[in-house]
Amino acid sequence: MLRDITIGQYFPTESPIHQLDPRVKLLGTVWFVSLLFLADHTWGMVLSGLLLGLLVWLSRVPFSYMLRGLRPILFIILFSAGINLFFTEGQAVASLAGLTVTREGIVMAVRMSVRLALLILGSSLLTFTTTPISLTDGVERLLQPFKRLGLPAHELAMMMTIALRFIPTLLEETDKIMKAQMARGAKLDTGNLVERARNLVPILVPLFVGAFRRADELAMAMEARCYRGGENRTRLKTLKFTRRDLWAALFILAATLAVLGSSWLPAPL
């Protein structure tokens, strides 16, 4: 299960999506997530899915690798679908275990499940195609205008990048601790809910200790390299908005108009 968490991981390859400016990808991801909630109709979901599928194909990231990121949240998707399926009022179509299934509930359950899946896949595509350093530069440049209001743009970007970078590391360490505890006879997947939560204590304690140790080592390494924040710092690579990024922005605008305009089409559901 832990190996299926793909958030924060980078997939190195050459693709048109990898070569885009990180600011374009950041704004595009935020806009895509917002679009999923604005397009509250069937054709909007369909077009959003086709758009994401095209982007995944252009990124050359294996689609099976993308789907791995849905496994950890599969329970959340199914739980949300069940809530909408049985507790949405409307035209009754069936009855299951004393609960009424409505036509509107089926539509809402499908839309919510698709929306959550597209949200996770779209967010994962950002980290798959953007290195942590580029992501830091992009966030810092986007937050640069807010420095006049006292917002520490560089520090916020650095914190976000360190958090993303620590996710795969902590997952790998958690997997090692779980295997070590199971080798010592710990039963992590048996018993009721309370017993399973109690069995996680031998995992959480060394995990937190290791996380604090890594944070302390990182702080010492940054101080040893005379890190003093973003003031008067230079960059090896300067972000430049190219013609490729302009075409990508125009494509995002056209896709947005297509998704929002599809609300005028008759819904199949």
Answer whether 0.75 is exceeded by the pTM.
no
pLDDT score at 191: 65
Flag whether pLDDT at 13 surpasses 70: yes
| Cβ-based neighbours of 43, under 8 Å, separated by 6 or more | 262, 263, 265, 267, 268
Instruction: Supply the angle between the helices 153-183 and 201-224 in degrees, to the nearest 10.
Output: 140
Contact between 16 and 244 (Cβ < 8 Å): yes
Nearest residue to 24 via CA among 153, 120, 126, 147: 126
Flag whether pLDDT at 165 surpasses 60: yes
Mean pLDDT of the chain: 80
73-130 pLDDT, tens per residue?
788 888 888 888 887 777 777 776 677 778 778 888 888 888 888 888 888 888 888 8
Instruction: Place 236 in a pLDDT band, splitting at 50, 70 and 90.
Output: low
**Other C-beta atoms lying within 10 Å of the C-beta of residue 105:** 24
Cα 244 to chain centroid, rounded: 24
The rounded distance, in Å, linking the Cα atoms of 186 and 202 is 9
Q: Can you give the residue ranges of every domain in the chain?
A: 1-130+241-269, 152-238
CA distances (Å), origin 16, targets 65, 244, 255 = 18, 9, 17
Helix (H) or strand (E) holding 93: strand 92-96
Say what percent of the chain tops pLDDT 70: 88
HSE at residue 209, side-chain half, CA atoms within 13 A, is 7
Nearest residue to 7 via CA among 28, 29, 27, 24: 29
pLDDT score at 33: 86
The rounded distance, in Å, linking the Cα atoms of 166 and 170 is 6
Contact between 121 and 94 (Cβ < 8 Å): no
Helix (H) or strand (E) holding 118: helix 103-128
14-38 pLDDT, tens per residue?
888 988 988 899 888 888 888 888 8
pLDDT score at 268: 56
253-269 pLDDT, tens per residue?
888 888 877 766 665 55
